[in-house]
Structure 1
């Protein structure tokens, strides 16, 4: 029932707004000037022509072909369209992402129930609708971009990975690369963390806390060896089959290690001791990785077209931007008195380590901002990007502003790590931070839509908040959505650009 409610809610606003967008902006807009003609070439049956300005593989075009083909027989029967390519209008192609937005919301609903089975159907439904309203994701649901379909493929990969259907998960993972090549990082992230969970299932006795071990030791004095074996097997069965007990074990297991080094060393030993089982179970992901490496060697780059404009760059400031943008989009979790006090008390427990961590964070952030803030030509050349205004009116408003934002960047990342650390192991948190860095740092262009996938992963693993805060955040998202929509539909853009930069249409 929850899935139907989520799909109906998204369709309820997406369909009329998509119709409004198509009536006011019927022609391809920004990147659509590349994607729409390319998809129409495929509709004509021409699979050999390729626009050299397109950087991503043709996954979105294949989805559109399948989607449009599904209602072509009806259109032909009622004489709406005599040929298939007639249906491949800009509006029809855009509607692909409307369907994908519904799929994303349903997948998020199922993922939340899988990760947090105690959350309840109603709460999961509310969260799924809220994520569908997330402004960046919401806006691109009405344009012909790759982001919404890319998110759907990644969420499907994650869902099947958690369900231990690794062949299906790897299939969706390979499909996600056809939308955006950087999704290979999320394949590694999901596979690596699930392999850790897999080996923990092979060593059930190591996954209980010291207190539970002591209690078990006392009880073993009054049971026979055979009964002890039966109890251990029962504990293992319950851990594997019960999602709730698995979450408890994950949170308790972090207490077994004094620090991150011990945890990493223990995991490495278990992986080595069980290497055959792990390699066999996760072979599908290995096949995907080998195919991806072969593609990189054959192509000579991770992007397909416009290689000179998408050169891998050390854009470390991008990592900081993500922290602040995500924290701002999740206000009830981060910028509240309780969270500020929580971080303050945490720093007070070990003042020396906290001081060194803050000092190191400030130093690295200053280096990232001063030496590795990249102003891509596309960012400076087109005022239809909101990052154009953020760069000019906020970050570059004066020479001090980019340095004054460093404490906010640092607080945002400390808050994210602190919240994740309450429900995830240290290795999980570290792997997530590294994955975000690998996805964002090489990208020279500041684009908030690049942040969508890691943002959704954050929401999936953040603690549940009460209905009042959810409602407030939902209203904030709706207000932001309406503002973006009004500006998009009714603002007469007058193409500004920085002096000395070329005007790009991309």
Structure 2
């Protein structure tokens, strides 16, 4: 029932808004000027022509091709379209992402129930609808970009890995690479954590110890949310009987004194069970070998416009994500209780905390001062919101980019602290490294790149009350409406301003 409600809710707003967008902006917009003609070439049966400005593989075009083909028999029957390629209009191609947005919401719903079995169907439904309203994801639901379909493929890969259906998971991982090449990092992330979860099943004695520790802590904890009130006995029974392998472990860090000990223990177990792990995760190995072969054949990870998308050490991008994610999850991070929590945590070990703060300040300063990249695309096109963020905030004066460093640090410390309450240290480390590997090489500041790590962060953050979820949903809806109004009711004819690299409306 929850899946149906989620899909119906997303369709309820996505379909009419998509119709409005297509009526006001019928022609390809921004990067659609590359994607739409390329997809229409595929609709005409021309699979060999390729626009050299397109940097991503043709996964979205194949999905659109299958989607439009499914509509053609009905259109032909009612004489709406006599030929297949007539259906591949800009509006029809954009509607691909409306379907993909519904799929994303349903997948998120199922993932949340897998990761947090005690959350309840109702709250999982609310969470899924909330993520569908996340402004960046919501906006690109109505344009013909690769990001929504890319998110759907990664979520499907994650879901089937949690269900231990590794061949299907690897298949979706390979499929995700057809949308964005950087999804290879999320394949490694999912496979690595899946392998760690897999070996935990091979050591039942450790699991019994873990259950006793976790049950003790859970029984002494008062949980405010009704959906999370589960007994220690029920928790133990779910742990034993559930096919999902302890992905959400609330007190697992108690088993180890530090990160080094945890890494050593897991590494030892992986080595001792290397044959079993390699056999189980062979599908992911095949995908990785195929991807490496592609890079060698292509001469790099990017397909077209390689000069404009060269790998660059953009460490400031990593900091931007922390601030954007924390701001988009206000009820988790921007609260007095979270500030006090971080303060009390620092008081437990002042020396380590001071060293961590000093190291964070130093590294953040180096990242901001030496590795803040202003990509030509960022400066050239004022139809992107990042154009205004860069000019009106980050570059408003020479001090602003340094003034933001404490906010960057607080955001990342808050993210790590919150994840650390529910995940193992090695899981948190793998997430942080994955975010860095996806974002740091990207020279262009683009909020679309933050969507997948943001969704994974939401999946693994502690559950909050319905009132906070409602407030955040209303905030997202307000930002969505603002974005829609500014998008629809400003002129779309832009021209190059002589003597500059900036485009003007």
Question: Separation in 1 of the partners of 2:245 and 2:379?
Answer: 51
Question: Separation in 2 of the partners of 1:171 and 1:504?
Answer: 41
Q: CA deviation at 1:502?
A: 3.4
Q: Sort the Cα spacing of 1:257 and 1:281 in 2 relative to 1 into closer, same or farther, 3 A.
A: same
Match in the other structure for 1:302: 301
Match in the other structure for 1:319: 318
The DSSP-based 3-state class of the residue aligned with 1:375 is: coil
Q: CA deviation at 1:247?
A: 5.7
Question: Separation in 2 of the partners of 1:211 and 1:161?
Answer: 23
Match in the other structure for 2:19: 19
1:80-132 deviation per Cα after TM superposition (whole angstroms, max 9, x unaligned)? 00000000000000000000000000000000000001000000000000000
Q: CA deviation at 1:245?
A: 8.6
- Using the TM superposition, name which of 239-248 and 175-184 deviates more: 239-248
- Any residues of structure 2 matched to 1:14-93 within 5 Å, and which? 14-93=14-93
Question: Separation in 1 of the partners of 2:264 and 2:415?
Answer: 25
Q: CA deviation at 1:206?
A: 1.7
Match in the other structure for 1:221: none
Are the aligned partners of 1:35 and 1:145 in contact in 2 as well (CA < 8 Å)? yes
1:268-298 deviation per Cα after TM superposition (whole angstroms, max 9, x unaligned)? 1000000000000000000000000000000
Match in the other structure for 1:6: 6
Question: Separation in 2 of the partners of 1:257 and 1:330?
Answer: 30
Structure with greater helix percent? 1
Q: CA deviation at 1:71?
A: 1.1
Question: Separation in 1 of the partners of 2:497 and 2:254?
Answer: 53
Are the aligned partners of 2:314 and 2:372 in contact in 1 as well (CA < 8 Å)? yes
Q: Does structure 1 residue 385 correspond to structure 2 residue 384?
A: yes
- Any residues of structure 2 matched to 1:220-369 within 5 Å, and which? 239=239, 241-242=241-242, 246=246, 250-369=249-368
Q: Sort the Cα spacing of 1:125 and 1:211 in 2 relative to 1 into closer, same or farther, 3 A.
A: closer
Q: Sort the Cα spacing of 1:495 and 1:352 in 2 relative to 1 into closer, same or farther, 3 A.
A: farther
The two structures, once aligned, show a CA RMSD in angstroms of 2.0
Q: Sort the Cα spacing of 1:429 and 1:132 in 2 relative to 1 into closer, same or farther, 3 A.
A: same
1:234-262 deviation per Cα after TM superposition (whole angstroms, max 9, x unaligned)? x99974532689367x3343211110000
Question: Separation in 2 of the partners of 1:122 and 1:237?
Answer: 22
- Which TM-score applies when normalising by structure 1? 0.93
Match in the other structure for 1:232: none
Q: Sort the Cα spacing of 1:104 and 1:210 in 2 relative to 1 into closer, same or farther, 3 A.
A: closer
Match in the other structure for 2:166: 166
The DSSP-based 3-state class of the residue aligned with 1:181 is: coil
Match in the other structure for 2:176: 176
Match in the other structure for 2:109: 109
Match in the other structure for 2:225: none
Q: Sort the Cα spacing of 1:495 and 1:481 in 2 relative to 1 into closer, same or farther, 3 A.
A: same
Question: Separation in 1 of the partners of 2:142 and 2:211?
Answer: 53
The DSSP-based 3-state class of the residue aligned with 1:251 is: coil
The DSSP-based 3-state class of the residue aligned with 1:206 is: helix
- Any residues of structure 2 matched to 1:85-164 within 5 Å, and which? 85-164=85-164
Question: Separation in 2 of the partners of 1:152 and 1:487?
Answer: 27
Are the aligned partners of 2:7 and 2:102 in contact in 1 as well (CA < 8 Å)? yes
The DSSP-based 3-state class of the residue aligned with 2:55 is: coil
Q: Give ranges in structure 2 of 5+ residues lacking alignment.
A: 217-234
Q: CA deviation at 1:402?
A: 0.2
Kindly tell me the number of residue pairs found equivalent between the two proteins: 485
1:462-501 deviation per Cα after TM superposition (whole angstroms, max 9, x unaligned)? 0110011001000000000000000000023575889965
- Which TM-score applies when normalising by structure 2? 0.93
Are the aligned partners of 2:422 and 2:460 in contact in 1 as well (CA < 8 Å)? yes
Q: Give ranges in structure 1 of 5+ residues lacking alignment.
A: 217-234
Question: Separation in 1 of the partners of 2:148 and 2:50?
Answer: 22
Are the aligned partners of 1:133 and 1:474 in contact in 2 as well (CA < 8 Å)? yes
Are the aligned partners of 1:7 and 1:106 in contact in 2 as well (CA < 8 Å)? yes
Q: CA deviation at 1:207?
A: 3.2
* Deviating 4+ runs (over 2 angstroms): 207-213, 235-248, 250-253, 492-505
Q: Sort the Cα spacing of 1:253 and 1:103 in 2 relative to 1 into closer, same or farther, 3 A.
A: same
